[in-house]
Structure 1
Amino acid sequence: MKTSKFAVVASTTVASVSALAHPGHDHSANASMLYHVIFYGSVVAGLAILGLAAYQAFKKISK
């Protein structure tokens, strides 16, 4: 069982690297900065929401 889990994780890791390196990922494109700001902004917003939810959950538990 451990071997099959390792194989799945290892193959997913290798596959994801090749998926990220797709042709057309051009950092010199006109809209590249906008796309990156939107992407990283959504990541930060998601982390902030998760952090707020965790804070509220821990605050509720500690009462």
Structure 2
Amino acid sequence: MTVHKAQGQGMKRVIVDLAQCRGTEEPYTMISRAKSLAGLAILRPFLGSKLRCPPSEEYRDERTRIGSL
């Protein structure tokens, strides 16, 4: 299942491949689908920078736009 198809769904068991993620939104979406930590399995090792990279330009632009309302 793709990250986009999984949005809005809660699942008992989730297997994620964080090594293939792009940006910061994908890892968050993938991990947050699991209803509990016990139901989360990470397929293989990944770089910590996958979770610590700066927000995307689109996200920063949207935050700026919302802040100006």
TM-score by length of 2: 0.26
Larger radius of gyration: 1
TM-score by length of 1: 0.27
If asked which structure has higher relative contact order (CA below 8 Å, sep 6+), I would say 2
Larger relative helix fraction:
1
